[in-house]
Amino acid sequence: MLRSENAYWAAAAILSTRRDPLSRKASLLLHFILEKYHNNEQHLHTDMLRLISMKYKEHFPKILNKATSQLKLVYGLELKVDNPNTQSYVFVSKLPIPPREDPNSKKELPKTGLVLALLGVIFMNGNHATEEQVWEFLNVLGVHPGRRHLIFGDPCKFITKDLVEQRYLECHQVPYSNPPTYEFLWGPRAYSETTKMKVLEIIAKIKDTLPGSFPDLYEEALCDKANRAGRRAEALGYSLAKTRILS
């Protein structure tokens, strides 16, 4: 697969989101919702309407749907109406293990969703994503370089140091770049714990579309799935043959 083909689809997806004012409002609303959750505070329908401004009142259901979809995909939380009379909301965890609370009663959220989204944007860019491409995509999710994130702390440290040390990512200088620029690749732990099809599904859901909307990427993900199945079958065959010899 040509890297330029993947990059075309990634650039088109990111650009369409950045140009869409409803997506920008959804990103703003997502950050507001996360702040309320992090501080264990209740928030109301009127608070959210005030945040996006009355100009977008008629589009509020669509904006809220975009924000809550990302909330569920990236953070494992679902927002539900608690009291229809006061129009207040509560959070429901969609994770098998509820998030822990720290001594200050501020809730801790999982980071798996963001890691999968990050692996997805690397995949979309031909398995090599530059710093600029990574941050363009993460900005859509309300994660910005130099701006401390409620959940991930320092985003630059989380991505360039923590995830590299945990072997989810590899970070290399682009050859002959001056000034030096860097690009990200999947690390060995990412290959062992997830698949290209899984991260493509995450990206498609964030973009409110289907994996097949990215035909070249979908084909590569299918090939990756088939190769993994072949390696598992080969390993199983080797294990059975070895067992027969030993017995």
Q: Where are the domains of the chain?
A: 3-7+9-93, 110-235
Neighbouring residues of 47: CB distance < 8 A, sequence distance ≥ 6: 32
Domain covering 3-7+9-93: architecture: Orthogonal Bundle (1.10)
Neighbouring residues of 202: CB distance < 8 A, sequence distance ≥ 6: 73, 113, 116, 117, 120
**pLDDT digits 0-9 by tens, 57-93:** 899 989 988 888 878 777 777 888 777 777 777 777 6
pLDDT of res. 16: 52
pLDDT of res. 246: 57
The share of the chain scoring above pLDDT 90, in percent, equals 19
Q: Give long-range contacts, CB 8 A cutoff, 24+ apart: 73-80.
A: 73/113, 73/117, 73/202, 73/205, 73/206, 74/113, 74/114, 74/117, 74/141, 74/206, 75/34, 75/109, 75/110, 75/113, 75/151, 76/109, 76/110, 76/112, 76/113, 77/37, 77/109, 79/33
Distances in Å between the alpha carbon of 115 and those of 119, 155, 176?
6, 12, 28
Residues of the chain with pLDDT under 50: 1-15, 95-108
pTM equals: 0.66
Mean pLDDT across the chain: 78
In CATH, 110-235 is 1.10.10.1210: yes
Domains 3-7+9-93 and 110-235 share a fold: yes
